[in-house]
Chains A and B, each alone.
Chain A
Amino acid sequence: MLSVSCLSALLLHTVCCLYIRFIFWLEILFIVAAPFSPSQIPLYTKCITRLKVILIFYILQGRTLILKDLKSHESLYLVCITQLERRMADAGNKESAPIGGDEFTNTELENNKNNTMVEEGSTLLRRMEISVAEAEKRTGKNTVNMQEIFTVYLIETRPIDAITEGHNPAPDSLWRRYSEFEILRNYLLVTYPFIVVPPLPEKRAEFVWHKLSADNMDPDFVERRRVGLENFLLRVASHSVLSNDKILYHFLTEEHRWKEVVHETGFQAKADSRIKALSATFRVKNPDKRFTEMKLYSDELQSLTSQLLRVRARVADRLYGVYKVHGNYGRVFSEWSALEKEMGDGLQSAGHHMDAYAASVDDMLEEEEHYADQLKEYLFYAEALRAVCRKHELTQYELETASSDLISKKQQREELATGMVRTFSFKGMTNKLFGQETPEQREAKLSLLEEQIVQGEETVTEKTVECEEYVKGAWVDMQRFKEQKDRDLREALIGYAVMQISMCKKGIQVWTNAKDCFHKM
């Protein structure tokens, strides 16, 4: 039995949380709905502070009551704060756009496109038809020698000129499983770190609403994965840079030995360690601002799409409930119609329409899954985008490290040459204590340093070039990605509207029919 004080504390807590949540959504509405003007900066500053306080409140709470909210809302708070700060920065600095491209004029961009991109006509997709036609279950032994069931996908390819010549040859085909796709993608990620590599469909079903099975063997899931894998291959094969990769070609055309070949490239060794990447993110001093912005954007994209997918799944779940309950009408009307003489016919047919209404939701929601998949693709793309930005930070950090190493070596040389100790050093101290070294030792050290400096200068030059080329290549691909994203998502939204329209039309039809039946009652 809870005591009265416990209950009242719980009540107070719930009320506070509801209030906080209410305030939060009010702030959000204010931020995103109101047109921004610089005069409102003081107000917005207050908003930021308040949002940060709310965030801290939530973090300090740590109670299970809030925890589920915290998970989904925390990232949103951060998104809001980021958006707000960006708007304030814009107001103060009107010239720069949030995701700037100012450093590249249009002609430069064109030139870069020509340099880094092969002509459109030669992407793989132009030369070859690719599809993932089927999926099948197989059994086999896994790495720990246990029986497992897995799904394989049939990749079919056909050279286009064979088709256009009027023949219709059978496509070449081979079977691949999901894990092989993963290896291919990892290879591409390591080999082309400046490219936003298209993502694979999800490994496990997420954002599931109750009807969808979270089971990887579920036929609907397998089918959607098949479509996703095909989409992945088509995107890769139509990318101007990625499509020329030999490993990709091998993956598509030769079943055997592909794994060995890809491992022989040694790509796994080239992968950057997570720790290295993370430390670079924290310690880099002068990353390209555009990349920092892009990274922030990728975080936002990830939070926003995942929130959207979550809410959409809940809405779908509820809608499913509404439709299915109407099926009960069908049953009861049918039973009731047996009792009534005059109303019987009308009721009976109305009942059938109610059954049809309840059944119609299955197809509609299955179609909506396609929309969710499109959003999911960009949820995963956000990750790829972030990876490109991180790689930049890493290369920049390596350049900065090499430069600072070089500077310190030059400093050491100077010190050694002039005998002046600029800064406190262990060497300086030991010199004072134990006397200076001999001229021979000094000469040896000096020549070593000279060698190191020469090497260092080479490294710095190398790294500078590497960094610059990376920035150029990555920026171009990020722009390409941005355009693709805008196009695809726009299409997805239009598709969503079309689905809603179709759903409304079906609803009108069913209820008009039901109305006619009721008339006959």
Chain B
Amino acid sequence: MFNASMPTSPGSMVNQCKFEEDEESDSKDIFITVDNPESHVTAIETFITYRVLTKTTRSEFDNSEYEVRRRYQDFLWLKGKLEDAHSTLIVHPLPEKFVVKGMVERFNGDFIETRRKALHKFLNRVADHPILSCSEDFKVFLSAQAWELTTYKKQGPGFLSRMGETVRAVANSVRGVKNRPEEFTAIQEYVEDFSNKIGSLDKVTQRIVKEQKEYLEELKEYGPTYTLWSGSEEELAEQLKGVAGCIERCCKETEEQVGHLSDTLVPVLHEYVLCAETLKAVLRRRDNIQAEFEAKNEALATKKVDRDALKEEIDKLEDRVEWANNALKGDWGRWQRSMRGDLKSAFLSTAEKNVDYYEKCLAVWETFLLSQRTEPSEETDRDNTP
């Protein structure tokens, strides 16, 4: 297992880290929860902070427990730092900045809850990641008080140097990569297709939620119609009220089922839509690294420059490419496993809830039927048709 006290260079990190086949839950030494959203009002703005509670036995942490408050911007910062430091590792996506509907939505209860869950998942995924969880930025995020974090954020590469990096990245992406290894092309094709499929699933699921809600609306009017009729009948009143009662109970079950769908399946699918975008970005970054190396390599062959200095730079870039590729390869397998796990459990949970829903509705109608059959039987001679 990885030991934080050893000297860390990118190369040695890769060599030392093993990507376990199965993350044993007893080897989990850090537990993070995100909860308790609170609204903060300042002169300039209003924003929400979340409580981040950490319990850990890891040695690089001074305490075993930390409680801090963080806002969405802080999470964004953390993600950015992680991606900068490990550009070809797959970082779990954050919930989106804002919903298209508008400003008011930010403070809507459902929105906050959805975001909170997603932030919780984000931090836990980072904590589960063998490399990312060792990041200093991550440690500071979890442990520093608000003012400490602000100070810490101000350190690090300045604005101008970041600009330079961005320009280089853009230049590289325009240049394009020449000899992409086959496996990464395969991964890219997969990501393209996966992105389409998961996007479709997301849309289908949202459509199901919408249709189900519309069904529920109509169903809510259906029951009262029977109740109303029962007011005009004598013999039939009981049965009509019974049917109305059954429909009302089915309404409740339907509401629960839609809620479950919205809480369980929709967020997961949405996350993986974002994941697909993350993957595309990671692949692009890897390509850029390779493109930079290739460009310098070409320069070596064509331009008349200081060959030694250039050679040294090229060696470093080559190392970088190798490290990036290995990191990605390792993380790719890991991502696929967790994707399968997440989606499988989400669909499984949905199927289970649906079975439960139908079983409950079945019980409702069977009870009604039973109550009908135990009543004294009607006269048996009938003149007319079945």
Contacts and interface: CB of A to CB of B under 8 A. Distances in A.
Contacts of A336: 194, 197, 201
Given A80-B228, A332-B201, A497-B246, A521 B362 contact: no
B236 interface: yes
A50 interface: no
B208 A325 contact: yes
Given A318-B214, A325-B204, A490 B355 contact: no
A97 B47 CA distance: 66
Interface in B353-386: 354-355, 357-359, 361-362, 365-366, 368-369, 372, 378, 381-385
A498 B369 contact: yes
A214 interface: no
Given A487-B378, A487-B382, A521-B340, A79 B204 contact: no
Main secondary structure of the interface of A (DSSP, over half): helix
B243 A504 contact: no
A515 B218 CA distance: 29
Contacts of A484: 383-384
A201 B235 CA distance: 26
Given A325-B211, A500-B365, A314 B229 contact: no
Given A322-B211, A494-B372, A515-B352, A329 B204 contact: yes
Interface string A491-520: 001101110110011011001101100110
A505 B228 contact: no
A497 B232 CA distance: 21
Contact of B236 (A318, A489, A505): A489
Contact of A318 (B201, B211, B354, B368): B211
B355 A28 contact: no
Contacts of A504: 358-359, 361-362, 365
B208 A501 contact: no
B200 interface: yes
Given A83-B231, A501-B365, A501-B366, A312 B222 contact: yes
- The contact size tier of chain A is 35 or more
B38 to A, nearest CB: 33
A235 B386 CA distance: 10
Contact of B232 (A304, A317, A335, A340): A304
Given A326-B208, A484-B384, A32 B215 contact: no
B33 interface: no
Contacts of A29: 224, 227
A28 B223 CA distance: 12
B323 interface: no
Given A83-B232, A321-B215, A508-B359, A332 B384 contact: no
A325 B232 CA distance: 39
Contacts of B343: 343, 521
A486 interface: yes
A328 interface: yes
B218 A496 contact: no
Majority DSSP secondary structure for residues of B touching A: helix
Contact of A304 (B208, B225, B352, B382): B225
A497 B371 CA distance: 12
A519 B234 CA distance: 52
B355 A332 contact: no
Contacts of A33: 227
A515 B348 contact: yes
A168 to B, nearest CB: 22
A508 B354 CA distance: 8
Contacts of B201: 329, 332, 336
B365 A486 contact: no
A511 B354 contact: yes
Among B207, B222, B362, B366, find the residue whose CB has the most chain A CB atoms closer than 10 A.
B362
Nearest to B197: A336
Interface string B200-244: 110010011001101101110110111111111011100110110
B19 interface: no
A339 interface: yes
Contact of A332 (B190, B200, B242, B378): B200
User: Which of A25, A239, A514 counts the most B-chain CB atoms under 10 A from its CB?
Assistant: A514
Contacts, number: 181
A120 interface: yes
A301 interface: yes
A41 interface: no
A388 interface: no
Interface in A275-328: 297, 300-301, 304-305, 307-308, 311-312, 314-315, 317-319, 321-322, 325-326, 328
B208, B227, B347, B361 — which one has the most chain A CB atoms within 10 A of its CB?
Answer: B347
Nearest to A233: B385
B347 A350 contact: yes
Interface string A90-107: 000000001100000000
B246 A342 contact: no
A487 B357 CA distance: 32
B236 A235 contact: no
Contacts of A518: 344, 347-348, 351
A343 B348 CA distance: 13
A234 B385 contact: yes
Contacts of B239: 489-490, 493-494
A32 B230 contact: yes
B60 interface: no
Contacts of A238: 383-385
Contacts of B197: 332, 335-336, 339
A493 B240 contact: yes
A276 B142 CA distance: 89
Given A339-B193, A497-B368, A521-B343, A28 B224 contact: yes
13 contacts: A80-B231, A125-B383, A238-B385, A300-B232, A304-B232, A307-B228, A322-B208, A332-B201, A493-B239, A496-B243, A501-B365, A507-B355, A518-B348
Given A343-B340, A519-B348, 17 more contacts: A79-B231, A230-B385, A304-B228, A308-B225, A314-B218, A325-B208, A329-B204, A336-B201, A490-B378, A493-B240, A497-B365, A504-B359, A507-B354, A508-B359, A511-B354, A518-B348, A521-B340
Interface of B: 190, 193-194, 197, 200-201, 204, 207-208, 211-212, 214-215, 217-219, 221-222, 224-232, 234-236, 239-240, 242-243, 246, 340, 343-344, 347-348, 351-352, 354-355, 357-359, 361-362, 365-366, 368-369, 372, 378, 381-385
Interface of A: 25, 28-29, 31-33, 76, 79-80, 83, 98-99, 120, 123, 125, 230-231, 234-235, 238-240, 297, 300-301, 304-305, 307-308, 311-312, 314-315, 317-319, 321-322, 325-326, 328-329, 332, 335-336, 339-340, 342-343, 346, 350, 484, 486-490, 493-494, 496-498, 500-501, 504-505, 507-508, 511-512, 514-515, 518-519, 521
